Structure 1
Amino acid sequence: MHILRPIKSTDFDALRQIAEESGHGFTSLPVNDDMLREKINRSEQSFIKQISTPQDEGYLFVLEDSETGDIMGTTAIEAAVGMTVPLYHYHQGKTVHHSPTLGVYNTVDILSMCNDYTGASEICTLFLREPYRKGLAGRFLSRSRFTFMADHSDRFSNTVIAEMRGVSDENGHSPFWQWLQEHFFSIEFPQADHLVGLGEKVFISELMPKYPIYANLLSEKAQAVIGNVHEKTKPALRLLEKEGFEHRGYVDLFDAGPTVEARLHNIQTVQDSSVAKVNICEPTGTGSLAISNQKLNDFRATFTEEALYHPQNNTLDLHPNVANALNVTSGDNVRIFKL
């Protein structure tokens, strides 16, 4: 059985393995022991905080195979980004150069640096290890975080964003960054990417051009990748688009990957999910259901065919083994959605 739960300090070795496997461009999991331990500790503290508005919390989850104890993957939610360390994006816009006298009318694409997503909640750090990328595990890992947000909506902003990894080669070099490096920086993309992962972002405000950049001045290769995602990120983007996430012109400063957004209450999984009362028995299921226990620090979620939902009275027949894995008993409420 696959169980999604909050990360614990004992998961450090597994998280470090995931950080190594995730590769270049996955800035939210730097291969740095101190930073990874800090992420785990921050997550543990976030889950036990008593709060009523989103602040600087980070909720980190792991997907565990309950039979083997293997950690299959991870995902995370940042409650409110940009509150302590500025969050920068480029916004794609246009400017017009018009001369009626000369009969000239030119529309030019521009990139303007901004902090427009300050205070938004961010879903991030979604990674499923290679041996487990089959079946429903990836879809479950992506969608179940939305049920956690729905059940604890006071901890999150109504604007939810996801920064998608932009285009880079097998060595981690970004065509977009290469142009910026040539004109404004003197460091390679992997180094800049690593600094961001470590939270050292002051160099952005120090060296990044303050005025809008005319996109047609960039190299052809740099222009071609603006708003496009890394090949390995395309499945994750498709899942988010099905949830209702849209790209509204914001791209990453370094690799120009798109940032997509949605309103929490409009996310498809939130709209399609239902709250049901548990009845423990041995049902014959009719398809895979994802189930979360609606708890906070003791949050658990899984997907199973050993469950049967009765919409007429909002009850869920649940096998004892699944109920035990979710730490629920008869009469408890759970949130469910069809996977």
Structure 2
Amino acid sequence: MMVVRPIQADDWDALRELSRKTGTGFTSLQDDEQQVRGKLDAAMAAFGEETPEEALYLFVMEDTESQQVVGISAIESAVGLQDPWYNYRVGTLVQASRELNVYNRISTLSISNDHTGFSELCTLFLDPDFRHSKNGSLLSKSRFMFMAEFPQRFNDGLIAEMRGYSDENGVSPFWEGLGRHFFSIDFAHADRRSSTNKVFIAELMPKHTIYTNLLPESAQEVIGQTHDNTTPARKLLEGEGLRYTGYVDIFDGGPLLEAPVKDVRAIRESRYVKAHVDDQVGSGELYLISTTGFNDFRCCMSPVTLEGNHIVSITPAIAEALNVKAGDTLRIVPLSAQRRF
């Protein structure tokens, strides 16, 4: 059984191993020991007694049978409060001449800090061997259960930066067509640097509006496009209500999705119930089931039996995985957006 829980100090080896599998373009978890150590330290601080202004809530997915950590996901409580948060805003410029009978609509890119202070969904990675049985949905959507339980720790606006398109060799057409001209380094190098120090972005980033029709067609075509490995994650978030509104990553052109927190389906529709432990539980629709604790937050997915509006029957195995007993309060919501209470 899979359960999502806050990361712990002794998860270091598992976190480091996952970082070796993420690949080029996965900015928030790279094969860099210093960066990974910083992530773990930040998460330990976030779940400590004092909450940092920019808290990183880092979660792992654990197979309860093997006790193996197989995935990771995170929420940044706010972005851009200490280091600037950059992206491009995609716009439209119209140039027309009645005399020449010319009317041109030109796509533009403008540097933006519009999402400063927003909460961010980030660092979602599942070991390729475990990308089945809706494990990815649990790993991603469990974060919404945590946000629903502790809304005071997050901003009213939520964003998720999707990994942009790159080819099988890790080459980003967007970077080759735009970023390289200003930074004079490889995409992978710039991506690694941005995860630890963003000062160089402000120093070298073009300050004026960019006309995308001056870029190579290969770069124009991938603006707002998602990496093949990230497309399922994008569809999952769009199913929960996040939308692309015309902002893209400055390095690979990947889309930024956003939504008001209150409009996210799993947050809006989740509700409290009391646990009833029973060997006989119905099969069928999967639910997210989470506890109400902070440091001991747990979330898993399972069919349940609803007994009225306020009681849910769960199996002994689920109760053990969540470390709850009969009568404890749980938060539940259907895993998919199709089902309604």
Which residue number in structure 2 is paired with residue 275 of structure 1? 272
2-side partners of 1:64 and 1:181: how far apart?
38
Q: 2:126 aligns to what? A: 128
Name the amino acid aligned to 1:266. Answer: D
Offset from partner CA, 1:185-205 (integer Å, 9 cap, x none): 2101110011112x2111111
Equivalence map 1:104-123=2 (5 Å)? 104-123=102-121
Q: Which residue of 2 aligns with 1:265?
A: 262
Query: Counterpart in 1 of 2:167?
Result: 169
Q: Counterpart in 1 of 2:338? A: none
- Offset at residue 182 of structure 1 (A): 4.7
For 1:87, which of 85, 90, 112 is the aligned residue? 85
Q: Whole-Å Cα distance in 1 between the matches of residues 309 and 193 of structure 2?
A: 53
Out of 194, 197, 215, the position equivalent to 1:218 is 215
Say which is worse superposed, 23-32 or 35-44, in terms of deviation: 35-44
Query: Structure 2 vs 1, CA of residues 303 and 32 (structure 1 numbering), >3 Å: closer, same or farther?
Result: same
Counterpart-to-counterpart distance in 2, 1:233 and 1:332: 37
Q: After superposition, where does 1:1-339 map in structure 2 within 5 Å? A: 1-50=1-50, 55-197=53-195, 199-287=196-284, 288-305=286-303, 307-310=304-307, 312-339=308-335
Asked if the contact 1:181/1:188 (under 8 Å) is kept, the reply is no
Q: Distance in 2 between the 1:178 and 1:249 partners? A: 21
Q: Give 3-state SS (helix, strand or coil) of 1:285's partner.
A: coil
8 Å CA contact 2:180, 2:186 repeated in 1: no
User: How far apart, in 2, do the equivalents of 1:274 and 1:308 lie?
Assistant: 15
| Number of matched pairs | 334
Distance (Å, rounded) in 1 between the aligned partners of 2:138 and 2:252:
28
Moved more, 101-110 or 169-178: 101-110
Partner of 2:339: none
In the alignment, is the contact (CA less than 8 A) between 2:5 and 2:298 conserved in 1?
A: yes
Displacement after TM superposition at 1:246 (Å)? 0.5
Deviation at 1:181, TM superposition (A): 4.3
**C-alpha RMSD of the superposition:** 1.5
Preserved CA contact (<8 Å) 2:179 2:251: no
Report SS of the residue matched to 1:48: coil
How far residue 289 of structure 1 moved from its aligned partner, in angstroms, is 2.4
Counterpart Cα distance in 1 of 2:45 and 2:90: 37
Instruction: Output the TM-score relative to the length of structure 2.
Output: 0.94
Q: Residues 290 and 6 of structure 1: is their aligned pair in 2 closer, same or farther, counting only changes over 3 Å?
A: same
Q: Residue type matched to 1:74 in 2? A: I
CA distance in 2, matches of 1:35, 1:18: 13
% identical equivalent positions: 46
Q: TM-score, normalised by structure 1?
A: 0.94
Contact 1:63 1:73 in 2 (8 A): yes
Is residue 9–residue 37 contact of structure 1 (8 Å, CA) maintained in 2? Answer: no
CA shift digits 1:109-140 (9 cap, x unpaired):
11000100100010011111111111121111
Distance in structure 2 (CA, Å) of the matches to 1:99 and 1:326: 67
Q: Distance in 2 between matches of 1:196 and 1:182?
A: 14
Q: Structure 2 unaligned segments of length 5 or more: list them.
A: 336-341
Query: How far apart are residue 65 of structure 1 and its match?
Result: 0.4
Letter in 2 for 1:200: N
CA contact (8 A) 1:290 1:301 kept: yes
Give, as a single letter, the amino acid of the residue that structure 2 aligns with 1:66: T
- 1:331, CA displacement in angstroms? 2.2
CA offset digits 1:82-116 (Å, max 9, x no partner): 11111100000011223334433222111000100
Amino acid at match of 1:167: Y
Q: CA deviation at 1:281?
A: 3.0
Give, in angstroms, the shift of residue 309 of structure 1: 1.8
Secondary structure at 1:157 match in 2: coil
Q: Distance in 2 between matches of 1:40 and 1:2?
A: 21
Aligned residue type for 2:19: A
Give me the whole-angstrom Cα distance separating, in 2, the residues matched to 1:138 and 1:297: 22
**What whole-Å deviation, never above 9, does each CA across 1:12-45 have from its counterpart, x for those lacking one?**
1111111111111011012222221221121122
The one-letter code matched in structure 1 to 2:217 is E
